[in-house]
C-alpha cells in the first residue's frame, strides 16, 4: 500500500504502480434512459464495474490531466464502487478527482459541481428511484462537461467498447479517506473531498428570494413537510429548509440517507411517499408538502388536499416564472418529454415561447439548454429543471414552488385551480405494468406497431384517431436523430395515449401507458383523473392487450 489512508502525504516522487488486468467482456452493458442500472449482485461480478468504467474512459477523447467529479446517492455498494473508480481514474491519468464527502452527491449537485469546477466530466453512482440494498439496484452514469448526462453518441460508444474490452487499468493504492474534507496529493493525482451541500445551497440562494422565504416561513404563513425518503436530499433539505430558511426541524422527514432507503422505493409519488400523502390529505396538512427521490433529481409537489401532477407543475412554473428572481426577465423557451402532458404547450402558446418535444430522459434537454433555446424543462415522471444545471432538480422545484406560494400568497390548490381556469386542464395519468416478461412486452410493442398504419381516421366511441406513429426526434442543435422513442396515438380532440418500454428497470420489462385528455370546462376540473380517463384507459387496453397478454388485472403503479 503506497497511500496512507490516515491522510499523511505519500512518499514524494514515488510513482504509483499501475496494473493492467485481463478481463472478459459482458454483453449487457448498454446504458438505458439514465445510465447503466443492474442488480448490485451483477455489479459485484468479476470485472463488471471495472469493465464499464474502463469502457467509459476508453471512449473519452482524453483522460490524462483531466478533472473528474465523483459521487453517488449513498446506496448500498456506493462506497466500494467509489474506491474502485478512484484507483481506475488514477491509472487512467486523471489529475484531479472531486468527490462529495462520504461519497455522496445528489445528481443535481454533481451537475452543478462539474459546471462550477469546469471539470471534464463526472461519474454519478445511482439507480435513482429504484430500491437499494444487496438484493436491489445499483447504477452508474457518466455526465459530460456541461454537467448533463452523456448524449447518445457517448452512451453508444461506451456500449460498443464494453462489447470488446479485454483489459482495464487500476492503480495499486489503499482506500482513500472519503470522510475528511480537504485535498490530498497521491502521486500525480489530487483528490479533493468537498462538502456535498455548500455549493448547491449557494446556487439555490442565487436563484430564489431567500429573504422572502424566511419571512413567509418565520411568520407561519408557509408551513411545510419535505420527505427525503431516506435518500440523498436529507442533508440538502436540512441545510436549506431548516438551517437557512428557518423551517422547524420536523419539516424534513426521513432525512437520514440509508443504504437501503429503509427498505422502501425512494420514488416520490403518492404510492411510495405514503407518509407524506396521508398527512397532506388529512386534517393537519401543512400548506405545502414535497418529496424527492433516491438521487435528488425528482420532485413531487403537493398542497393541503391536493396533488400537483408533474405535467401541471411544469406548466404552472412556466406561467409564473417571472415571479422568481432568476427568471424575472422571462424564459427563452420551454421543453417537455414527449409523454409529458401538453399543459406546458398551452402556456408557451399564450406567451409566444418556443416549445420543444423531446424523447424521454434528461440527456435530450442538454443541447437545447446549452444553446439558450430553453430555460425550463420537465418530464411527467416527477422531473423539472432549468438552465441552472443540466439535470432535473428536486429541491430546486421545491424552492420554486415555495417562492411562488410566498409571492402569490395563495395556497397550492388555488394556484392550480386558477391555472386550469386560464388554460384548461390536461387530465393526465400514467399506468405502469412492471416486470413483464421481456418476450411478452416485445410482443405488445410489435402488436402496437402493426396497428399504426390502420389507426388514423378510425373512430372509437367519442375519439377519432388523428395520428398514430412511433416518435422520432431530430435534435435541432446537432441534427442527431433518435428513433423508436415511444408509440403515440393522438386523437382529433387533442387527447393522447402513449406507450413505451422503460429504460431504467432491472427486471424484465416495464410497460408505461400515458393517458391524457383536455378539459376546458371549469365545472369539470375537479374530476377524478381515472374516471375522466376511463374511456381512454379502455382503448389503451384494446390497442396493447397488456392485461390479456399478461393475465394481470391492473397496473402496478398509477401516477
Cβ(18)–Cβ(171) under 8 Å? yes
> Would you say 51 or 485 has its CB closer to ligand VG1?
485
The residue (of 411 and 505) whose beta carbon lies closer to ligand VG1 is: 505
**Which region among 202-210, 239-247, 377-385, 440-448 touches ligand VG1 (by CB under 6 A)?**
377-385
Residue 503 is a binding residue for ligand VG1 (CB under 6 A): yes
Instruction: Give residue number: closest CB to Co ion.
Output: 128
How many CB atoms are located within 10 Å of the residue 332 CB? 16
Nearer to ligand VG1, 124 or 245 (CB): 124
**What is the closest distance, in whole angstroms, from the C-beta atom of residue 383 to Co ion in the complex?**
8
Check binding of 362 to ligand VG1 (CB under 6 A).
yes
Cα separation, 502 vs 463, in Å, equals 27
* CB of 300 vs ligand VG1, minimal distance in Å: 12
Nearer residue to ligand VG1 within complex by CB, 363 or 425: 363
Contact between 185 and 2 under an 8 Å Cβ cutoff? The reply is: no
Is residue 225 a contact point for ligand VG1 (CB under 6 A)? Answer: no
Measured from the CB atom, the residue of 141 and 298 that comes closer to Co ion is 298
Cβ atoms of 33 and 361 within 8 Å: the answer is yes
Compute CA distances 82 → 20, 67, 352, whole Å.
19, 15, 46
Q: Is the separation of the CB atoms in 101 and 79 below 8 Å?
A: no
Site membership for ligand VG1, residue 254 (CB under 6 A): no
CA-to-CA distance for 460 and 48, rounded, in angstroms? Answer: 50
Sole binder of ligand VG1 in the list 504, 516, 539, 540 (CB under 6 A) = 504
- The dihedral region occupied by 184, where left means phi > 0, alpha psi between -120 and 50, and beta the remainder, is beta
Cβ 211 to Co ion shortest distance, Å: 30
- Single out the residue of 55, 59, 63, 128 in contact with ligand VG1 (rule: CB under 6 A): 128
Pick one of 216, 233, 304, 381: the residue that binds ligand VG1 (CB under 6 A). 381
Burial 197-218 (b: 16+ CB within 10 A, else e): beebbebbeebbbbeebbebbe
Of 507, 340, 326, give the one whose Cα is nearest residue 426: 340
Task: Give the span between the Cα atoms of 97 and 57, in whole angstroms.
Answer: 14
Number of residues that bind ligand VG1 (CB under 6 A): 18
Nearer to Co ion, 264 or 425 (CB): 264
Q: How far is the CB of 287 from ligand VG1 (least distance, A)?
A: 26
By CB under 6 A, tell whether 512 contacts ligand VG1. Answer: yes
Residue ranges that bind Co ion, judged by CB under 5 A = 128, 293, 295, 297-298
What number of CA atoms fall less than 13 Å from residue 539's CA on the CB side?
A: 26
By the 8 A CB rule, do 506 and 37 touch?
A: yes
Partners of residue 469 on adjacent β-strands: 488
CB of 298 to Co ion, least distance (A): 5
Strands 557-558 and 224-227, by their bridges, are: unpaired
Question: Minimum distance from CB of 181 to ligand VG1 (Å)?
Answer: 27
Q: Which stretch binds ligand VG1 (CB under 6 A): 74-82, 91-99, 466-474, 500-508?
A: 500-508
Examine the residue annotation and report whether 128 is marked as an active-site residue of this protein.
yes
Which of Co ion, ligand VG1, none does residue 390 bind (CB under 5 to 8 Å by kind)? none
Kindly state the smallest distance separating residue 63's Cβ from Co ion, in Å: 27
Residues 277-336 that bind ligand VG1 (CB under 6 A): 293, 297-298
DSSP label at residue 454: G
Does 33 bind ligand VG1 (CB under 6 A)? Our answer is: yes
What is the Cα–Cα distance from 406 to 294, expressed in whole angstroms? 28
Which region, judged by CB under 6 A, interacts with ligand VG1, from 241-249, 323-331, 360-368, 453-461?
Answer: 360-368
Q: Binding to ligand VG1 by residue 265, rule CB under 6 A? A: no
To ligand VG1, the closest distance from the beta carbon of 30 in angstroms equals: 13
CB of 128 to ligand VG1, least distance (A): 3
- Counting contacts by CB under 6 A, is residue 93 touching ligand VG1? no
Q: Which is nearer to Co ion, 285 or 389 (CB)?
A: 389
Stretch that binds ligand VG1, among 46-54, 97-105, 302-310, 356-364 (CB under 6 A): 356-364
Residue 104: strand pairing partners: 72
CA dihedral 356, 358, 360, 365 (to 10 degrees): -80
- The torsion angles phi and psi of 415, rounded to 5 degrees, stand at -60, -45
C-alpha cell at 516: 391524457
Q: What is the DSSP string of 147-205?
A: SSBPPHHHHHHHHHHHHH--EEEEE--PPP--SS-EEEEETTEEEEEE-TTHHHHHHHH
Q: Tell me the closest approach of the beta carbon of residue 503 to ligand VG1, in angstroms.
A: 4
User: Does residue 73 belong to the site contacting ligand VG1 (CB under 6 A)?
Assistant: no
**CA-CA distance, 68 to 71, in Å (whole number)?**
10
Do 213 and 324 form a contact (C-beta atoms < 8 A)?
no
Q: Are 368 and 356 in contact (CB under 8 A)?
A: yes
| Cβ distance to Co ion smaller for residue 81 or 353 | 81
Residue 50 or 293: the one with the smaller Cβ distance to Co ion is 293
Binding ligand VG1 (rule: CB under 6 A), the pick from 75, 129, 238, 373 is: 129
Cβ pair 298, 381 in contact under 8 A: yes
With CB atoms as reference, the residue minimizing the distance to ligand VG1 is 128
* Site stretch for ligand VG1 (CB under 6 A), options 277-285, 320-328, 354-362, 400-408: 354-362
CB 212 within 8 A of CB 407: yes
Residue closer to ligand VG1 by CB (options 287, 291) is 291
Cell 432568476 found at: 326
Which entry of 106, 128, 251, 502 is annotated as an active-site residue? Answer: 128
**Residues identified as active-site:** 128
Residues in contact with ligand VG1 by CB under 6 A are 33-34, 128-129, 293, 297-298, 337, 360-362, 379, 381, 383, 502-504, 512
Amino acid at each position: 500500500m503506497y497511500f496512507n489512508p490516515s491522510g499523511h502525504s505519500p512518499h514524494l516522487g514515488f510513482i504509483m504502480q499501475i496494473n493492467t488486468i485481463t478481463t472478459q467482456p459482458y454483453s449487457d452493458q448498454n446504458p438505458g434512459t439514465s445510465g447503466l442500472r443492474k442488480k448490485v449482485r451483477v455489479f459485484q461480478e468479476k470485472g463488471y464495474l471495472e469493465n464499464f468504467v474502463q469502457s467509459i474512459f476508453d471512449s473519452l477523447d482524453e483522460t490524462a490531466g483531466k478533472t473528474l467529479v465523483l459521487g453517488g446517492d449513498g446506496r448500498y455498494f456506493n462506497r466500494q464502487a467509489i474506491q474502485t473508480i478512484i484507483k481506475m481514474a488514477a491509472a487512467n491519468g486523471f489529475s484531479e478527482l472531486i468527490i462529495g464527502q462520504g461519497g455522496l452527491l445528489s445528481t443535481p449537485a454533481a451537475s452543478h459541481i462539474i459546471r462550477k469546477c469546469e471539470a471534464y466530466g463526472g461519474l454519478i453512482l445511482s439507480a435513482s428511484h429504484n430500491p437499494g440494498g444487496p438484493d436491489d439496484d445499483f447504477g452508474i452514469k457518466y455526465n459530460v462537461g456541461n454537467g448533463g448526462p452523456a448524449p447518445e453518441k457517448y452512451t453508444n460508444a461506451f456500449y460498443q467498447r464494453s462489447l470488446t474490452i479485454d483489459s482495464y487499468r487500476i492503480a495499486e493504492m489503499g482506500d482513500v479517506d472519503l470522510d475528511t474534507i480537504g485535498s490530498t496529493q497521491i502521486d500525480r493525482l489530487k483528490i479533493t473531498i468537498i462538502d456535498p451541500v455548500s455549493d448547491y445551497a449557494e446556487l439555490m440562494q442565487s436563484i430564489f428570494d431567500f429573504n422572502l422565504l424566511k419571512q413567509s416561513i418565520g411568520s407561519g404563513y408557509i408551513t411545510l413537510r419535505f420527505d427525503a425518503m431516506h435518500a440523498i436530499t436529507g442533508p440538502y433539505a436540512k441545510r436549506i429548509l431548516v438551517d437557512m430558511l428557518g423551517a422547524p426541524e420536523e419539516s424534513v422527514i426521513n432525512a437520514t440517507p440509508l443504504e437501503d432507503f429503509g427498505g422502501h422505493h425512494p420514488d416520490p409519488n403518492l404510492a411510495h411517499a405514503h407518509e407524506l400523502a396521508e398527512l397532506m390529505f388529512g386534517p393537519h396538512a401543512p400548506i405545502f408538502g414535497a418529496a424527492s427521490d433516491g438521487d435528488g433529481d425528482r420532485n413531487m409537489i403537493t398542497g393541503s388536499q391536493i396533488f400537483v401532477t408533474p405535467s401541471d407543475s411544469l406548466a404552472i412554473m412556466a406561467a409564473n416564472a417571472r415571479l422568481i428572481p432568476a427568471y424575472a426577465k422571462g424564459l427563452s423557451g420551454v421543453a417537455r418529454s414527449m409523454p409529458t402532458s401538453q399543459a406546458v404547450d398551452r402556456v408557451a402558446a399564450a406567451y409566444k415561447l418556443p416549445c420543444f418535444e423531446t424523447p424521454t430522459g434528461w440527456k435530450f434537454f442538454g443541447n437545447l439548454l446549452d444553446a439558450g433555446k430553453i430555460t425550463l424543462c420537465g418530464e411527467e415522471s416527477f422531473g423539472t429543471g432549468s438552465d441552472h444545471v443540466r439535470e432535473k432538480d428536486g429541491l430546486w422545484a421545491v424552492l420554486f414552488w415555495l417562492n411562488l406560494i410566498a409571492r402569490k400568497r395563495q395556497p397550492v390548490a388555488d394556484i392550480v385551480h386558477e391555472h386550469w381556469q386560464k388554460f384548461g386542464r390536461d387530465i393526465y395519468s400514467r399506468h405502469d405494468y412492471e416486470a413483464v416478461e421481456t418476450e411478452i412486452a416485445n410482443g405488445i410493442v410489435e402488436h402496437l406497431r402493426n396497428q399504426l398504419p390502420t389507426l388514423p381516421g378510425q373512430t372509437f366511441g367519442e375519439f377519432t384517431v388523428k395520428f398514430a406513429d412511433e416518435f422520432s426526434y431530430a435534435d435541432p442543435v446537432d441534427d442527431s436523430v433518435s428513433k423508436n422513442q415511444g408509440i403515440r396515438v393522438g386523437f382529433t380532440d387533442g387527447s393522447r395515449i402513449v406507450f413505451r418500454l422503460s429504460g431504467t428497470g432491472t427486471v424484465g420489462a416495464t410497460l408505461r401507458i400515458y393517458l391524457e385528455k383536455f378539459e376546458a370546462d371549469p365545472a369539470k376540473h375537479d374530476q377524478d383523473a381515472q374516471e375522466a380517463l376511463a374511456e381512454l384507459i379502455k382503448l389503451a387496453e384494446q390497442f396493447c392487450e397488456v392485461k390479456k397478454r399478461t393475465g394481470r388485472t391492473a397496473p402496478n403503479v398509477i401516477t
